[in-house]
Structure 1
Amino acid sequence: MMKKPLFIYDGQETTYKFNDDHPFNQKRLVMTVDLLQRVGALPESAVMAPVAAAETQLLRIHGDAYVQAVKALSSPSPDPLWIAQAGKFGLDTEDTPFFPNMHEATSLVVGGSIAAAEAVMSGRTDHALHLGGGLHHAMQSKGSGFCVYNDAAAAIAHIHDKYDVRVLYVDTDVHHGDGVQWLFYSEPKVCTFSIHETGKYLFPGTGSVAERGEGTAFGTSINMPVEPYTEDASWLDCFDEMLERVVRHFKPDIIVSQHGCDAHALDPLAHIHCSMDIYKAMPAAIHRLAHEHCGGRWVALGGGGYDIWRVVPRAWSLLWLEMNNDPMIARLSSDPQLQLPADWLERWQSESPVPLPATWLDDKNAWTPMPRRQVITETNNQIKEVALLYVK
């Protein structure tokens, strides 16, 4: 009998906030929790509050000088000497500027992802979701791409060090999961698989098929860079085939997945033209493979997603509904135009600058097809074959 999944969450995680104008807006977390509660899918018994990661856990991933810099720059009035060094640590950019209580907020995020990993590996639950996590761009000694500490890497390291098992990291964010890849690039027991918009045109500019791992870990870094304006059919064709092949090839003991939902056509920071359908399909594929190959062990994290009104709450709610085998998933299969709860729409429409969608999934009949669909699909298929060259 499947154990009830855990939802790792604390309202304090929303204090991970750069500034009022920054696209990384944690209201998306609040809206998602509210949506799940209104449909009766998030009982209090499923929620577990995280605790902040210990400094030793941060130092497993990040350099001591970097952690000390983050702590110093977290002061409401940092010492000018530290401010002068912020650029050295990637914490003075428009994307990742330092902010008050930065260390405390991001340590809580890291602690949440480690708690999710421990809950699954200890046998307390089969699945755990931490939507506040998924900050996959942070490097060993540098903040990057809205990410200060790399909670995904910290969770993987915890699993690796304590349980000595094979970990498959699946990154579905539209931006390449570079931080996690590079941190485990030479570790043969960690396999990273990222599907993302090609780095030719999008941050962080990495994630080519040539990045395959090094030393004894060669072949454990697998990237699927797709063309701009890729649509659902091509995205899912690449994702499904590659994930299936990677799981069979690597034989993981647990899957850790990152669920940035910025490959949606409405996301303002990328150029992919997918619909909500992929955010129903991808968790379903991961869920099935976790049970078929990993004894059900599955840790899921949040990630990017910058249309916080029309995309993120729906996408992240679908992930939790899938994780729980909620009956609403089956209802969506038979009724793709199933309505969102009216009270949720009423609650948030007054704050939203755009009309909120009325349904869980998108009505793609109203969308204009991409004019280069065939060329884009053919190019993605060619890249997929190269990416799978060493995946038998």
Structure 2
Amino acid sequence: MSINAMFIHHDDELKYRFNEDHPFNQKRLELTYDLLTEIEALLPAQMLQARRATEDELLTIHQPSYIHTVKGLSVDHPKQQWLDKAEIYGFTSEDTPYFKEMHAVTSTIVGGSITAVDTVMSGQSLHALHLGGGLHHALSNRGSGFCVYNDASVAIAYLRQHYHARVLYIDTDVHHGDGVQWSFYTDPQVCTYSIHETGKFLFPGTGFVHERGESDGFGTCYNIPMEPFTEDDSWLDCFQETIQRVTAMFKPDIIVSQHGCDAHAYDPLSHQQCSMRIYKAMPAIIHQLAHQYCEGRWVALGGGGYDIWRVVPRAWSLLWLEMTDHPLLKQLDHDPLLPLPEAWMERWQQKAPVTIPATWLDNLTDWEPMPRRSEISSNNRKMVDVALQYIP
């Protein structure tokens, strides 16, 4: 198998953990690594260690006072001057509380996304995956939504500064990619696209179709807010049409995509009713667009995903299989209920508080259709029409 994609990682990323009861749990990375290793889809030659981002790189997005506060809160016993600023910068909430080594760990996550960018832009590989990244909610001066530094925004700023690239950012997390949108809201060389559950009902309460950019950046921001309880067919129909139209219009040099997998029906932090099918289909669509418009240049990041046992390992493994053109994907086309490896199942089931599905894709025979399916699909269709109304 030729190496057309690199897998960026660093053990320190496992330390990105707010507390033992927090839903953001990096054990999902361990589960995913182990699954890919078990099926021999992740080889040592494909793996590249992340570096730590420099302070100058962080400053392309984040304000100096914010970075200084993150540093001050990253020690065992923060001084009172930093504790006084914790609330101002978003670090006293249940969502994003400060933790030991916060600055160093999150700088490594940012560095991993920059490493992925350099790997692709240098020609070392066509694609790069950094599952530790995708912290898309962090703002320039505030931690938010489990995110301290916004690695996606810093990586895009790095692309603009060092490679002068025209960047399309695609966000498939169920929560709106607000931090990245606001970072480039006036930049005509960065197009941000986000498909997510509508902000009427879900954090962060943004991502409506009328958010289209400002000043020179007007018309380079696209939001596709989905109704609660959207199912596979409607989600994929909306995604495929809109992202193809947006990409054809913008004609990027590179795609940076965020792959939160929290629109799945099992995820506890959203109201969607999608299955693993969308996490096989969306990467395939993005992959095709990268080759059609960007000569293959594609950087993919992780993101949300809070059912760490039943959803995240399968979804993120499917992403890597797509990036590497792994033959298992063709087997899944013929047999959607192809079983997961027994050894992996046995290793993790004894530790899991829930029953791990035995197949790569979900067995939908027992899933009941949503009562308002036609109404939900119709409302989603209307949102697509509004979102695309200015694209020729």
TM surpasses 0.5: yes
In structure 2, the residue matched to 1:297 is: 297
Does 24-33 or 7-16 show the bigger shift?
7-16
Q: Distance in 1 between matches of 2:146 and 2:211?
A: 23
Matched, 1:369 2:349: no
1:75-86 alignment runs, 5 A limit: 75-86=75-86
CA distance in 2, matches of 1:104, 1:251: 36
CA contact (8 A) 1:280 1:315 kept: yes
Query: Any runs of at least 4 consecutive aligned residues in structure 1 with deviations exceeding 3 A, and if so which?
Result: none
Q: How far does the alpha carbon of each residue in 1:83-132 deviate from its partner, in whole angstroms, 9 at most, with x for none?
A: 12101001110000000000010000000000001111111110000000
* Corresponding residue SS for 2:160: helix
Unaligned runs of at least 5 residues, structure 1: none
Q: Which amino acid counterpart does residue 315 of structure 2 have in structure 1? A: A
Report the Cα distance in structure 1 between the residues aligned to 2:301 and 2:189, rounded to whole angstroms: 20
State how 1:1-392 maps to structure 2 within 5 Å: 3-392=3-392
| Contact 1:134–1:258 (CA under 8 A) maintained in structure 2 | yes
How far residue 2 of structure 1 moved from its aligned partner, in angstroms, is 7.1
Distance 2:165 2:204 in 1: 29
- How far apart, CA to CA, are the structure 1 residues paired with 2:238 and 2:273? 15
Equivalent-residue separation in structure 2 for 1:48 and 1:366 (angstroms):
41
Using the aligned pairs only, state the percent identity: 60
Report the AA paired with residue 378 of structure 2: E
- Superposed CA deviations along residues 341-374 of structure 1, whole A, max 9, x for unmatched, are 0000000001100011000000111101100000
**2: CA distance between counterparts of 1:169 and 1:337?**
32
For 1:252, the aligned partner's letter is P
What is the DSSP-based 3-state SS (H/G/I as helix, E as strand, rest coil) of the residue aligned with 2:88? helix
Partner amino acid, structure 2, of 1:326: H
Q: CA–CA distance in 2 between the matches of 1:85 and 1:123?
A: 43
CA distance in 2, matches of 1:73, 1:221: 34
Question: 2:305 aligns to what SS in structure 1?
Answer: coil
1:215 Cα offset (Å)? 0.8
Contact 2:174 2:262 (C-alpha < 8 Å) held by counterparts? yes
Aligned-residue offset at 1:81: 2.0
Distance 1:87 1:40 in 2: 46
**Deviation string, structure 1 residues 15-46 (Cα, Å, up to 9, x no partner):** 01100000000000000000000000000110
Aligned residue for 2:87, secondary structure, equals helix
Counterpart residue identity of residue 289, structure 1? L
Pairwise CA distance, 1:163:
1.1
CA separation in 2, counterparts of 1:317 and 1:256?
A: 18
Aligned residues: 392
Tell me the secondary structure at the aligned position of residue 195 of structure 1. strand
CA distance in 2, matches of 1:224, 1:391: 14
Contact preservation (8 Å) 2:199, 2:205: yes
Secondary structure of residue in 2 paired with 1:325: coil
The amino acid across from 1:165 in the alignment is A
Cα distance in 2 for partners of 1:364, 1:195 equals 23
d(CA) in 2 for partners of 1:198 and 1:172? 13
* CA drift at 1:390: 1.8
SS at 1:89 equivalent: coil
SS in 1 for 2:384: helix
> Which amino acid in the other structure matches residue 283 of structure 1?
P
Counterpart-to-counterpart distance in 2, 1:364 and 1:166: 40
In the aligned structure 2, how far is the partner of 1:186 from the partner of 1:14? 34
- Gaps of at least 5 residues in structure 2 are none
Residues of 2 paired with 1:305 and 1:131: CA distance? 11
Q: Which amino acid aligns with 1:268?
A: P
Counterpart Cα distance in 2 of 1:390 and 1:320:
34
CA RMSD for the aligned pairs? Answer: 0.9
SS at match of 1:278: helix
Distance 1:143 1:355 in 2: 34
Structure 1: how far apart are the matches of 2:364 and 2:377? 18
TM-fit CA distance, 1:4 = 2.3
Whole-angstrom distance in 2 between the partners of 1:111 and 1:130: 10
Deviation digits for residues 324-348 of structure 1 (CA, Å, limit 9, x no counterpart)? 0000000000000100000000000
Question: Could you tell me how far 1:12 is from its partner in structure 2?
Answer: 1.4
CA contact (8 A) 2:52 2:107 kept: yes
Tell me: CA distance 1:71–1:203, structure 2 relative to 1, closer, same or farther (3 Å). same
DSSP-derived class of the 2:255 partner? strand
1:2–1:126 Cα contact (<8 Å) kept: no
Distance 1:117 1:390 in 2: 31
